[in-house]
Structure formats: structure tokens, C-alpha cells
Amino acid sequence: MSDIEDTSADPTADTAADSSRAAAAGSDGAPEAGPRGRPRAADRDVLIEAAGLRKVHAARGAGAPTEAVAGIDFTVRRGEAFGFLGPNGAGKSTTMRMIGCVSPVSGGRLTVLGMDAAAQGPAIRARIGSVPQDDTLDTELTVRENLLVYGRYFGLTRAVIKERTERLLDFARLADKAGEQVEALSGGMRRRLTIARSLINQPEILLLDEPTTGLDPQARHLLWERLFRLKSQGVTLLLTTHYMDEAEQLCDRLVVMDHGLIVAEGTPQELIRRHCTREVLELRFAPPERPGEQAGERGDEKGADQHGDRRARGPAEPAPEPAVASAGPAARPTGSGRATDPDVTALADLGDRVEVLPDRVLLYADDGEAALAAVHRRGIQPLTALVRRAGLEDVFLTLTGRTLVD
Ligand SMILES: Nc1ncnc2c1ncn2[C@@H]1O[C@H](COP(=O)(O)OP(=O)(O)OP(=O)(O)O)[C@@H](O)[C@H]1O
Ligand SMILES: [Mg+2]
């Protein structure tokens, strides 16, 4: 098993693993032939195909090896926007890096653009663009120089690189920063430059590992618009994200990963339909009463503010004064502010499922209003309650038992 990582900025650089495998396979960069000389992928629209794909990271120091990707199957078709969701450490970036041929495959099969990722890394890298999770810009160069230098790796003529560089500076809204050193850019500007850089070779597939993390809302929307534009031009997009609105906006199809495995696959709507009820009732209870604290200082109704488009209810009537004393015994919060087991017991039969989060209890029910009425009938009086439609984050909780960023 090889675990040689190629972290160089040179997108056409070979890895030792690539070289040895390519030599063994006698690769000439041509698509690998299957039986009867045809490309292996029967469907020419399948651009990426993984079967039993595995990645084991070598042990660091005294630690044990990590099986970051534990045998996954998926296909990505031409023109699709395909998303990888999953909690921290699920194996998303590792998968992206194998597709981008900067991290050798440990097991299984991975074909990209009809080529074997294990043997034809350089040929694949020449036709894809990659935005890694962490920026790898040359901070000592200017913004423009970063694009010019990167373009040279692809063997493009100076004139072509120059023309594309100016266009990409506009694309990323960095034209006015072109002469500045990268060191002087904000985090969001660096992200935009990395994305611009990934497009210099006009890739057929664009890999975006958390492309908008750290961007302000305006920059995110700008980027989404640009990604839509690329997609309409036929570029196939693969992205990881922790933003559920991003996944719902951009992705035609998603896989949810957890512990190196794919635990669900489908369109955003399919996933929500398959794994959730139609609505979710969110309940918040009063935090614990601390000695000497005034009742009026305890209320926490931020949850309703964060969901301006949702139907907020609360504080529940009668007014929670004092909140803990007025709540039914089953709804009494613990000292940590978490809803307690008795809460779940008291709520369990009111919906399909109850999820207890540190700050909220989620009750999954097709009719959230009816569930809320039932909660009140039981004498349970949360501080705030809101009914909303189920979304991808709920799919997440259901499948992984974790929030996206825990
Ligand atoms: N180069 C490496 N060497 C050793 N272990 C690694 C390496 N890269 C990742 N890992 C481990 O592999 C697992 C998956 O990591 P990965 O970066 O793929 O997760 P991720 O889904 O992208 O998470 P995040 O959402 O935090 O970016 C983790 O346990 C991580 O610690
Ligand atoms: Mg990652």
C-alpha cells in the first residue's frame, strides 16, 4: 500500500505511486481499454466511477493507520453537480484528493474521464480543476502571477495564459487586486483566487472542496452564480460543503458520507423524503436556573431569529415565568441545559422520531402544528417552539446522529 501524497502546486506533477504504476501498466495516457478494446466505462457519459474505493492513511508516529475511505461506490455523469456531505472526518476530502489524483488510491477501482486514477494521474490532472480545502497559493507572488505561473504547468502558450488570466481575474472580481501580493488578500479573496486558478486549464471536471467556507454571503452568491454558469457550459462539478443551502442550490445529486462509507445517496429532495418527515418541530427549553439569577435574564429566543423564514412560535403561552417551574416535569432541562431523557420519553410518541441536541429538541412529524398542539396538551411548555420543513440537515442528523460541524 502506498501513501505518498503529492501536495505540490504543480497540477501535472507525477507522484511516485503514479510513476511506478504507470510503468507497470505501460500506460501511455490513453484511456484504459476494457474487453474487446472499448473504454471500460460502458456509458460514455459516466465521467467518474468508483467501485470499492478505499484509502488508508499511513500511521503517523505511534498512531495506527487510518482507513479514511472504507470501500465506496459511486458514479458521476457528465454535466452533473455532485455533492459529498458528511461530518468532520467523514472522508470527503480524502475522496476528492483521490479523484484529483494527488493522493493514491489504496484499494478498489477509480476511473476519471475513462482513465485509471491509479495509473494515469498526469493525464487526468491535465483535464480537471481542483480547489483544495486549504488554499495552496504562492503567497509571495502577486494575484496575477499566481494565475500566470499555474497556467504554465499545463503547457499553454503565453498568449493563451495571459488572455485567460485577465478573464479569470474579472470572473473572481479580483482585477483591482491583480498587482497585489497574495499575502495582502483577505481569506475570502484568496478563496476566489484559488477558484479562478483552478479554471486556467478550462477543466471538464471541477473539484471544489468546501469552496465557499469563509466567504461572505455576497461572495458566496456570486460564486454560486459562476458555478451555475460553468455547469451550463457543460463542466461537471464535484463539491463538498457544510452549508446545506449550498448543497440544495447547487447539487443535482448527493452522497452522505460517515466514517469513510456512503450512508445515503440521492437528489436533495429524495434524501429528505426518504429519511425525514415532512416537518420538524423545534423546541427550546429554559436553561438551568443558577443561584441569584433573575428569571427575566434567562430567556433565550435566538433560535427563532435564526430562522426568519420559518414559522416561529414562542415563547409558548403561558409565559414561562419562571420557565423551569412552569414547565411540565417531563420538560425540565438538566443542569447542562440539555433536554433530558424524560423529555424524550414524554415526546417520543408525538412524532416519528425525537432528536435531542445540546440546545434544542427536534420532533419529527409530518404535521408539526399538530405535534406542537399535542406537546401543549401534555402540559410541556417550551420557551420557544417553531415548525419548519425538514431539510438536508435533518437528513444528516438522522443518518449520522451528528450535526454538520460537531
Ligand atoms: N494525510 C493524512 N494522514 C493521516 N490521516 C489523514 C490524512 N488526511 C486525512 N486523514 C484522516 O482521514 C480521516 C478523513 O479525513 P478527511 O480530511 O477526508 O475528512 P473530511 O470529511 O474532509 O472532514 P472535514 O469536514 O473536517 O474537512 C480523518 O480521520 C483524518 O484525520
Ligand atoms: Mg475536508
Q: What CATH number does the domain containing 130 carry? A: 3.40.50.300
Ligand 1 center to residue 242 CA distance, Å? 15
DSSP-derived 3-state class of residue 69: strand
Which of 86-90, 167-171, 379-383 bottoms out in mean pLDDT, i.e. has the lowest?
379-383
Ligand 1 center to residue 206 CA distance, Å? 20
Decide if 123 is inside a domain: yes
Q: For the segment 288-311, what is each residue's pLDDT rounded down to a tens digit? A: 666 655 544 433 333 333 333 334
Which of 5-19, 96-110, 124-138, 155-169 bottoms out in mean pLDDT, i.e. has the lowest?
5-19
Which of 52-66, 69-83, 130-144, 284-298 bottoms out in mean pLDDT, i.e. has the lowest?
284-298
For ligand 1, atom 12, name the residue with the nearest CA: 68
For ligand 1, atom 29, name the residue with the nearest CA: 89
Model pLDDT, residue 223: 87
Q: Which of 268, 294, 317 is the last residue of a domain?
A: 268
Report which of residues 162 and 298 the model is more confident about: 162
- 356 and 243 part of one domain: no
**pLDDT band at 170; cut points 50, 70, 90:** very high
* Parent domain of 118: 16-268
Ligand 1 atom nearest the C-alpha of 133 is: 27
What's the mean pLDDT when you consider all of the chain? 80
Q: Rounded to whole angstroms, how far apart are CA atoms 353 and 283? A: 14
Residues 6+ apart with CB under 8 A from 166: 175
Q: Rounded to whole angstroms, how far apart are CA atoms 71 and 154? A: 32
CA distances from 319 to 43, 324, 347, 384, 391 (A): 62, 11, 21, 10, 30
- 198 and 130 part of one domain: yes
Decide if 240 is inside a domain: yes
Q: Rounded to whole angstroms, how far apart are CA atoms 180 and 158? A: 21
**pLDDT band at 29; cut points 50, 70, 90:** very low
Model pLDDT, residue 303: 35
Which of 3-7, 28-32, 53-57, 130-134 bottoms out in mean pLDDT, i.e. has the lowest?
28-32
Q: Which of 212, 237, 268 is the last residue of a domain?
A: 268
CB 207 within 8 A of CB 234: no
Report which of residues 281 and 290 the model is more confident about: 281
- 335 and 224 part of one domain: no
- 244 and 282 part of one domain: no
**pLDDT band at 37; cut points 50, 70, 90:** very low
- 308 and 233 part of one domain: no
Q: What's the number of domains the chain is made of?
A: 2
Decide if 6 is inside a domain: no
Q: Where are the alpha helices (DSSP H) in 237-378?
A: 244-250, 268-275, 302-305, 323-326, 341-347, 368-377
Decide if 237 is inside a domain: yes
Ligand 1 surroundings by CB, under 6 angstroms:
57, 60, 66, 68, 86, 88-94, 133
- 217 and 343 part of one domain: no
Decide if 169 is inside a domain: yes
Please determine, for residue 7, whether its predicted confidence score (pLDDT) is greater than 50: no
CA-nearest of 14, 9, 91, 17 to 54 is 91
Q: What does the pLDDT average to over 89-115?
A: 97
Q: What does the pLDDT average to over 351-366?
A: 90
- 35 and 123 part of one domain: yes
Q: Judge residue 16's burial from the number of C-beta atoms within 10 Å of its C-beta, 0-12 exposed, 13-18 middle, 19 or more buried.
A: exposed
Decide if 116 is inside a domain: yes
pTM of the prediction? 0.78
Q: Rounded to whole angstroms, how far apart are CA atoms 7 and 13? A: 10
- 282 and 321 part of one domain: yes
Q: Rounded to whole angstroms, how far apart are CA atoms 46 and 143? A: 35
Decide if 406 is inside a domain: no
- 158 and 140 part of one domain: yes
Q: Which of 268, 285, 305 is the last residue of a domain?
A: 268
- 262 and 282 part of one domain: no
Report which of residues 41 and 230 the model is more confident about: 230
Pocket test for ligand 1, best of 92, 98, 99, 106 (most atoms within 8 A of CB): 92
